[in-house]
Structure 1
């Protein structure tokens, strides 16, 4: 929860990983918005990020009026910027509009973001999530098709192969092809040339997850866990039917494994990016998401000292919270 006078970018990233598991996530959202409004950010340019984070927290609790208010403020804070964070915030606002029953306004907000699909994977993920929230999978398929075609044309004009040979070479193209492929599968459409290219790249670029970076170490804070099992009910078999069971499974696995591994705190909407629009969050998507978290910051070291706060974010001491779950 925000307590520092001036929050840094790293602080905001840490809050993103932990806020939804906090005792009062809506209070965290309100504090983030207040910090942005009062200028209590180490970098004033983080105001949009802080407000967008507040919007996502409020949205996760279905407080759509507050979420939209924060999202409006985030878009205003970003001003005329058209980079990935600004475009993502606009798409987040559109998603909240869809969930608020304002489909026409949401589509109007998304239309100017179509060029961002060929520039930023994060923004493309938010646009896709917004269209999915509005049940606009056919629109998503059309926009993704146009984006894939544009990226392939750019590669051809630059003398690059239209059939990449590595993940680095594929870049944004691979992401767009995956999203389009899964969207078309959701719509029940037959394979076309781009789907075949997506399959080839999936096979060519697939990698075995490194040890300790698979979805067995994904930890879902309480609110995120509720979102995950609601969105993908089949994952109760992977993560547990309740949050208590989820924490117990992790504690037992870590106890058996030994050593000092790190837990990977997850965000449901970020997993959705790897699952694709309408995706099923299969093992490949979950492992890919786990690898992305393992390469970043904000990991949770295990185990804490017996009298320290529990790793799950409950606020209770470890010895009275998750430590007994190992038994």
Structure 2
């Protein structure tokens, strides 16, 4: 990235989607910080955004001293703002503080952000991710449970909506709380409760829109079908085209966009779950169901997540793409996240 470039807000958003796959991500981080220092941001209010992105990149490469410097500056740049970007920046700062051994400061920062759990849709993801990084997964579960109870109580007090939502759209922020709480409880190996069951129902596509163009995939849509398996999947179970895409390009694009979204919400250690039609066909009868049943596919994905069928994401920009096409990531699925 030439040092004479003026970076627009759109440039920064594109960099956030592609920087982890760049040939020299740490160079990108340094350039972002230089752009902030040298007044090369088209919108000066993007200073915090640029520095937050620099901190994310440095943290992803375990350059924690640099990551903390960038994060300190990002938090200061956002000092007078209280929007979602500012809050994410503070959660990232806390995550890095955990990783450099300053746990008390990290917990203090996250405690100040805790009220956002019931106010901002992205907050459950980035707050729980920060607590996970500090080995405070049990605390994340406690906070998320309390937030779910608060939202459910508010719904019960409202005559305009049922206590238990029937689909993702009517759930609103409750969906994101339930989703993250469900993930955290799985990590802690806690037994299902009624709110986990509700999370399963919402994630299993009661909306009838999972996988359609313009919608975000649900959790079990992180299943990846290699090209031959994808064709067999659509041939054997045509109804699944609604969930996994009309063709292999659409399938890969949906996964790439979802992975970028999860990474932007603070999730780390992301992997793609490589499925097979034979595996799914054999798994479904064992669970007394059919491959077209979202609950069966979710259970299949859960089984894959504990095995060796996981593909780390993202690859380096010049490495082979995660989809197995044989093409470099930068020329294959990386650009699909921008579609």
Q: Settle same-fold status: TM greater than 0.5.
A: yes
Is the contact made by 2:55 and 2:70 (CA closer than 8 Å) also made in structure 1? yes
Shift of 1:18: 2.0
Separation of aligned partners in 1, 2:185 and 2:48: 33
- Match for residue 276 of structure 1? none
Is the contact made by 2:26 and 2:58 (CA closer than 8 Å) also made in structure 1? yes
Within the alignment, does 1:265 sit opposite 2:266 as a pair? Answer: no
Which of 220, 240, 251 lines up with 1:214 in the alignment?
A: 251
Is the contact made by 1:2 and 1:28 (CA closer than 8 Å) also made in structure 2? no
TM-score (norm 2): 0.67
- Match for residue 107 of structure 2? 107
Separation of aligned partners in 2, 1:112 and 1:100: 20
Structure 1, unmatched stretches of 5+, are 255-261, 267-289, 300-327
Separation of aligned partners in 2, 1:22 and 1:188: 36
Shift of 1:13: 0.9
Alpha-carbon RMSD:
3.4
Are the structure 2 counterparts of residues 72 and 130 from structure 1 closer, same or farther at C-alpha, using a change threshold of 3 Å? same
Alignment map for 1:146-165 (pairs within 5 Å): 146-159=146-159, 160-165=161-166
Separation of aligned partners in 2, 1:172 and 1:253: 37
Structure 2, unmatched stretches of 5+, are 211-242, 273-304
Separation of aligned partners in 2, 1:157 and 1:113: 25
- Match for residue 184 of structure 2? 183
- Match for residue 34 of structure 1? 34
Is the contact made by 1:155 and 1:161 (CA closer than 8 Å) also made in structure 2? yes
Shift of 1:215: 4.4
Shift of 1:36: 1.4
Separation of aligned partners in 1, 2:328 and 2:54: 33
Within the alignment, does 1:89 sit opposite 2:89 as a pair? Answer: yes
Separation of aligned partners in 1, 2:332 and 2:173: 28
Are the structure 2 counterparts of residues 92 and 235 from structure 1 closer, same or farther at C-alpha, using a change threshold of 3 Å? farther
Q: Give CA-to-partner distance per residue, 1:187-245, whole Å, 9 cap, x none.
A: 22222222222223223246213334434775699xx9x95469x895665479x8645
Is the contact made by 1:110 and 1:127 (CA closer than 8 Å) also made in structure 2? yes
Shift of 1:252: 6.7
Separation of aligned partners in 2, 1:253 and 1:72: 35
Alignment map for 1:1-327 (pairs within 5 Å): 1=1, 3=3, 5-159=5-159, 160-203=161-204, 204-205=206-207, 207=210, 208-211=243-246, 212-215=249-252, 228=270, 237-238=310-311, 244-246=319-321, 249-251=324-326, 263-265=332-334, 293=337, 298-299=338-339
Q: Give CA-to-partner distance per residue, 1:53-83, whole Å, 9 cap, x none.
A: 0000110111101101101111111113221
Separation of aligned partners in 2, 1:37 and 1:134: 31
